[in-house]
Amino acid sequence: MLEIKCPYCGKRSQNEFAYGGDATVKRPNLGDEVSTKEWDNFVYFRDNPRGKHTEYWHHVAGCRQWFKASRDTATHEIFNTASLEEEL
């Protein structure tokens, strides 16, 4: 079980959190013209790196804040976490 540092609550066990996917994906702005390819990239296509991955986590059984984490997908090492406003 991973130990994840919530930027608001501190270190907590993984079972308090929900994984939220790749945090480098940016949703197209509402109302913008979006090509099919661009939209498909946003909705469906994700990199699957072996190594460092920037991702969202939700402290769902805690403060209910979403935040970012940098994690190694192979070793599960979490390099750091940051609130949404901060740089990772």
List C-alpha distances in Å: 62 to 22, 33, 86.
21, 38, 20
Residue 9 interacts with another protein (CB under 8 A): yes or no: no
Residue 39 interacts with another protein (CB under 8 A): yes or no: yes
SS3 85: coil
Of 60 and 88, CB closest to another protein: 60
Beta bridge pairs of residue 53: 71
Residues in contact with another protein by the rule CB under 8 A: 1-3, 13, 18, 20, 27-28, 30-31, 34, 36, 39, 42-44, 56, 58, 60, 64-66, 75-76, 78, 84
